[in-house]
Amino acid sequence: MASETSARYLRFAATEARGHSPSYERLAGGVADDPGLLSLVDQLPGERRQPNLLLAAVRFLNGPVGDDYAAFRAWTVTHWTRVRNTMLERRTQTNEPGRCAVLLPVLARLPQPLALIEVGASAGLCLYPDRYAYRYDGGAVFGEADSPVVLDCVTTGPVPLPERLPEVVWRAGVDLNPLDVSEPQDVHWLECLVWPEQHERLARLRNAVGVARTEPPTLVRGDLDATIRDLVAAAPAGATPVVLHSAVLAYLPPEKRASFAATMRDLACPWISNEAPGVLPAVDRRLPPLPEADGLLFTLALNERPLARTGPHGQSLEWLPTP
């Protein structure tokens, strides 16, 4: 019978990498069938055995992650101590500014100006919705004139597309391990987390890093539930404090998600979540029956009221019918 780690690599190859990264599909599939490499990966704690973390670590160290499994394998085994240390020191913290395209319609409808607070911020690239430009359904570009970041998003349903950008007067965030846009090794790590064939995402990331460098966010190191009250309290008077997060709560055990949700209900400020199904039960319970539910889509919600289903990188926005 296949080991748990082998099954994990096979699942990653077949369901996540397929259609998005031929090289990652091939390499993860190769690891799944390689008892020698699996035994090295199994020396790591369970949460550090992720395929994405191994592949990013090899890239970070300039190892070969192309078509040739044998070359990848030989290099990884030879440099295993460095690969292992990188996998222990770093985390999967993919920061996707494209998600601002699905957050924007909600942000634009809140009482302005806004004090944005992102939990699980990584490098904070989702804290700049007012510094990017947007192209919904291939139409006219809208948003910050001359922004180097233009976010494309395909919409379905009655999306309340904004007429103007939100006014952001304060941006702050928390992460267990905040990444620093002015630190070249952190930026290199962010780049290695973008899959090899995703050239557009890489260009977008680099441009968003350039935007953030001109006005770096205030990021604190810590746990989201332990710090959120202080962050909300620190928001400037006269601005609406808005807490947002995307692709974060899946990393928490269910009891910590429940505790954070209870904190947010108590804080009673606008709370925008953009997360995979299953991580916020109160959101899932309110979702209308969806005939062709796609397990890879996220649910965008405001204070646990579902608004839309979204592509995980912000590439699509399907507004839900109002109940």
Beta carbon nearer to ligand SAM, 142 or 251: 251
Is there binding between residue 43 and ligand SAM (CB under 6 A)? no
Distance CA 301, CA 313 (A): 16
CA dihedral 249, 253, 254, 257 (to 10 degrees): -40
What does the longest C-alpha to C-alpha distance in the chain come to? 61
Question: What's the DSSP call for residue 164?
Answer: S
Residue (of 111, 143, 135, 98) closest to 247 by Cα position: 98
> With contacts defined by CB under 6 A, how many residues of the chain interact with ligand SAM?
23
Cα 260 to Cα 10, 107, 193, 280, 298, distances in angstroms = 33, 21, 27, 10, 19
**177 lines the binding site for ligand SAM (CB under 6 A):** yes
Q: Using the rule CB under 6 A, is 248 a contact of ligand SAM?
A: yes
The only residue of 50, 155, 240, 246 in contact with ligand SAM, by rule CB under 6 A: 246
Among 286, 89, 58, CA closest to 176: 89
SS3 310: strand
Rule CB under 6 A: which of 269-298 touch ligand SAM?
Answer: none
Choice from 21, 86, 93, 147 touching ligand SAM (CB under 6 A): 93
Least Å distance, CB 181 to ligand SAM, is: 13
Out of 5, 122, 147, 316, which residue is the one contacting ligand SAM (CB under 6 A)?
122
Closer by beta carbon to ligand SAM, 51 or else 120:
120
Whole-angstrom distance, CA of residue 86 vs CA of residue 53: 9
Decide if residue 95 touches ligand SAM (CB under 6 A).
yes
Of 89-97, 159-167, 201-209, 210-218, which part binds ligand SAM (CB under 6 A)? 89-97
Q: Binding segment for ligand SAM among 146-154, 209-217, 245-253, 299-307 (CB under 6 A)? A: 245-253
